[in-house]
Amino acid sequence: MKLTKFGHACVRLERDGAVLVIDPGTFSDPVAMDGADAVLITHEHQDHFDEAALRGALEANPGLRVWTVGAVATQLDGVGGGRVTVVGHGDAFTAGGFEVQAHGEWHAVVHPQWERVPNTGFLVEGVFHPGDALTVPEQPVGTLLLPVHAPWSKLGEVVDYTNAVGARRAFAVHDGGLSAIGLGTAAYALEEIAPGTAYERLEPGASVEL
């Protein structure tokens, strides 16, 4: 399986001609969805869900299907043909030839005065994207797509989360708000305090074979 990062929270998985994309938001390059068979959206925030870009991809590719939470599906009202499927915690399904399990129900708390939104992470054949939450799946995770920086987290929580998941390796996502200094600090902490997980950050457009 090939994993390609497309900026901030978006990744593209490819295997044997099948393509699955997770969280193509407004900070991501829309070309991530070119030729895709399936798109998974963890929640409704714009850095994970770009409605205009996704609608454009659906119009351009009649074979493209979407799996997501109810709040996102509502915003995609009018997309017919059963192409948008609502999923939530505990669901298991096949998307574009990939076996997927859904984990988690809620976005992490940013501030008590801000309403929480539904958030479901996706475990795609050992690769876990939690969206905006620190959900620990009940199933083993081989590769963690680690949200290293967010308004709802602090570095110590990210390190503890990495240890709790216990993946063999982790790749940075949700890092669009960090400078080179912040990225270096995160890498140092993860290498020092979470040595059981090999951590790496891919530049946008870079790929790795899993």
pLDDT in tens, 73-97: 999 999 988 999 999 999 999 999 9
Q: Summarize the confidence of residues 45-63 as an average pLDDT.
A: 97
Residue 140, domain CATH: 3.60.15.10
Q: Is residue 207 part of a domain?
A: no
Q: Tell me what percent of the residues of the chain surpass a pLDDT of 90.
A: 99
Q: Is residue 210 part of a domain?
A: no
Q: Is residue 208 part of a domain?
A: no
* Domain limits for position 131: 2-202
Number of domains observed in the structure of the chain: 1
In this predicted structure, what is the pLDDT of residue 209? 98
Q: Is residue 190 part of a domain?
A: yes
Q: Is residue 209 part of a domain?
A: no
Q: Is residue 41 part of a domain?
A: yes
Q: Is residue 34 part of a domain?
A: yes
Mean residue pLDDT of the chain comes to 97
CA 68, 72, 75: angle at the middle one, nearest 5?
A: 140
Q: Is residue 155 part of a domain?
A: yes
Tally of CA atoms within 13 A in the half-sphere of 141 that contains its CB: 29
Residue 57 has pLDDT above 90, yes or no: yes
Residue 70 has pLDDT above 90, yes or no: yes
> What's the pLDDT tens digit per position in 107-162?
999 999 999 999 999 999 999 999 999 999 999 999 999 999 999 999 999 999 99
Residue 179 has pLDDT above 90, yes or no: yes
Residue from 85, 146, 135 nearest 105 by CA: 135
> Taking the CA atoms of the chain, what radius of gyration do you get in angstroms?
16
Distance CA 197, CA 195 (A): 5
Residue 191 has pLDDT above 90, yes or no: yes
